[in-house]
Amino acid sequence: MKGKDFLTLADLSEEQLVLLLKEAAELKQKQKQGIPHEYLKGKTLGMIFEKSSTRTRLSFEVGMQQLGGHGIFLSSKDLQLGRGESISDTAKVLSRYVDGIMIRTFAHNKVEELATHATVPVINGLTDDHHPAQVLADLQTIIEYKGRLKGLKVCFVGDGDNNMTHSLIEGAALSGMNISIASPKGYQPNESIVKKALKIASKNHSAITVTEDPIEAVTNADVVVTDVWASMGDEDERAERLNVFAPYQVNEALCSHADKNFIFLHCLPAHRGEEVTASVIDGRHSVVFDEAENRLHAQKALLRLTMSN
C-alpha cells in the first residue's frame, strides 16, 4: 500500500486488508508495552476538515505524533479552498509541503479529485458516501472479541444510505463476513455500492442482505451495528427521520434475537433514546469505547502503510 491512496475499502485487496488489520494489532501492542514505533519520523500529514470531528482528528493527529511525525489541522474556513481555490490547485500545492493528505468532507467526488491531482497519498477521513477509516477500527474490534471475521454475521440497523453502512458492506464483503442491513424504504444502501460489494462477496462466499425487517436482520447476528438517524448534512430532516426510523431503534427487545454473545458497535457520537437505548450502548454487550480507541491504532496502521519509506 506504500504510496497509495485510501479512498474506499472496496479499493483494497483481501491481502491488503489483512495486512492493515495485522499492523493495527501490532501497533496497539507496541503502544501498550511502551515500545517506540516512530516509523514516520520527519513526515507531515495535512488534515483537511470540512466536517467537525472528535475521533477522526484525534486518531490521525495523535497517531502521527506517536509515529514520530506531525499532523497539521487545516480547517476549510482557513484554507483558500474555502474561498474558491480549486481542489486541483489545492492538491498540487499541498503535495509540495506535506507527505500525505487526509480529508474529512461532504461529497465523495471531492476526495477523488483531490487524489487525482495530488502527488502524495490521500486518505479518506469521511465523506457522505464512505467512512472506511472507521470501519477498519470496527473490523479490528470484531477480531479482538470474536477472534475472526470470516463467517460471522454482522447486521446494521438504521439509515442504510449513509457512509457507515456503505463502508461496512464493503468491509464485510472483503473479509468474508455475512452482512444484513435493515432500513426503511427510501433509506436503503446505494445500489451501485452494493452491486460492487456483491462481486467482492461472491469471491469470499459471503452474503449481503437488504431488508426492511429489523428482526430478520438481527436474528443470530454476532455483531449489531447502528448509527445516528440524522448524519451531518441531514439536520433539516431530523424531525421526519425520527418518525421514519422509530421502528429501527436498537433496544433490548430487538437484540434478544441476536446471538447471545453478540457485540454492539456504534461509531459515535450516539443519541441515546433515539437509534439506540442506553441499556444497550451502556450494557454488557457494548464495546463502543474499545471501538473508539481502535480508531487510533487502525489509523496508525493506515498511515504507516501509505506514508512510510
Ordered strands of the 44-49 beta sheet: 70-75, 44-49, 100-104, 122-126
Catalytic annotation, pick one of 134, 140, 249, 299: 134
Let me know if 104 is a catalytic residue.
Answer: yes
Q: Is the predicted pLDDT of residue 20 greater than 70, yes or no?
A: yes
Catalytic annotation, pick one of 5, 66, 104, 159: 104
Let me know if 131 is a catalytic residue.
Answer: yes
Q: What is the pLDDT of residue 3?
A: 58
- pLDDT band of 230, cuts 50, 70, 90: confident
CA angle 78, 82, 87 (to 5 degrees): 115
User: Cis peptide leading into 269, omega within 30 of 0?
Assistant: yes
Binding residues for carbamoyl phosphate: 53-56, 80, 104, 131-134, 267-268, 295
First vs last Cα of the chain: how many Å apart? 11
> What is the Rg, in whole angstroms, of the alpha carbon atoms belonging to the chain?
19
Q: What is the pLDDT of residue 126?
A: 98
Binding residues for L-ornithine: 163, 227, 231-232
Mean pLDDT of 15-41: 98
Enter the C-alpha cell of residue 34. 511502551
Binding residues: 53-56, 80, 104, 131-134, 163, 227, 231-232, 267-268, 295
Residues 175 and 222: beta-carbon distance below 8 Å:
no
Cα–Cα distance, 165 to 214 (Å, whole number): 15
In the chain, the amino acid numbered 104 is R
The closest alpha carbon to 28, from 292, 287, 294, belongs to 294
Let me know if 134 is a catalytic residue.
Answer: yes
pLDDT (tens digit per residue) in 74-131 = 998 888 887 789 999 999 999 999 999 999 999 999 999 999 999 999 999 999 999 9
Catalytic annotation, pick one of 227, 255, 266, 297: 227
Catalytic annotation, pick one of 295, 297, 299, 304: 295
Where do the domains of the chain lie, and which CATH numbers do they carry?
14-131+292-307 (3.40.50.1370), 132-289 (3.40.50.1370)
Q: Output the pTM of the full model.
A: 0.96
Mean pLDDT of 217-236: 91
The closest alpha carbon to 207, from 154, 261, 160, belongs to 154
The closest alpha carbon to 178, from 136, 208, 216, 147, belongs to 208
Upper half-sphere CA count for residue 241 (Cβ side, 13 Å): 19
Enter the C-alpha cell of residue 173. 464483503
Phi and psi angles of residue 227, each rounded to the nearest 5 degrees, phi first: -150, 170
- Of residues 116 and 238, more confidently modeled: 116
Where would I find the H helices in 132-205? 132-146, 163-175, 191-203
Catalytic annotation, pick one of 5, 99, 130, 131: 131
Q: Is the predicted pLDDT of residue 1 greater than 70, yes or no?
A: no
Mean pLDDT of 280-302: 98
CA angle 269, 4, 45 (to 5 degrees): 55
Mean pLDDT of 161-169: 97
Upper half-sphere CA count for residue 219 (Cβ side, 13 Å): 7
